[in-house]
């Protein structure tokens, strides 16, 4: 990852790394779920952001991200 402090999101926005605390916090806030719930979903569907969003949308746990 670059040292550009203006870049506040993950370098690869197509994957969710729940093992990085700052990334877990970022994605939890972005997707509107708790960190523990996000870990559960990633365990179930994998790390692809699209798959996680689709799963959360299908269970009505989050709104579509802008």
Let me know if residue 3 belongs to a domain: no
Tens digits of residue pLDDT in 35-55 = 999 999 999 999 999 999 999
| DSSP assignments along 3-41, one per residue | --TT--S-S-TTB--TTSHHHHHHHHHHHTS-HHHHHHH
Let me know if residue 7 belongs to a domain: no
Let me know if residue 42 belongs to a domain: yes
Number of domain units in the chain: 1
Let me know if residue 4 belongs to a domain: no
pLDDT band at residue 66, thresholds of 50, 70 and 90? Answer: very low
pLDDT of residue 14: 86
Let me know if residue 6 belongs to a domain: no
Let me know if residue 52 belongs to a domain: yes
Range of the domain at 34: 12-66
Let me know if residue 65 belongs to a domain: yes
CA distance 14 to 41: 15
Task: Return the ∠ at Cα 34 (arms to 24 and 58), rounded to 5°.
Answer: 100
């Amino acid at each position: 990852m670059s040292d550009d402090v203006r870049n506040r999101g993950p370098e690869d926005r197509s994957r969710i790394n729940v093992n990085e605390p700052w990334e877990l916090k970022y994605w939890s806030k972005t997707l509107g779920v708790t960190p523990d719930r996000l870990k559960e979903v990633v365990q179930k569907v994998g790390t692809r952001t699209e798959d996680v969003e689709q799963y959360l949308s299908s269970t009505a746990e989050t709104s579509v991200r802008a």
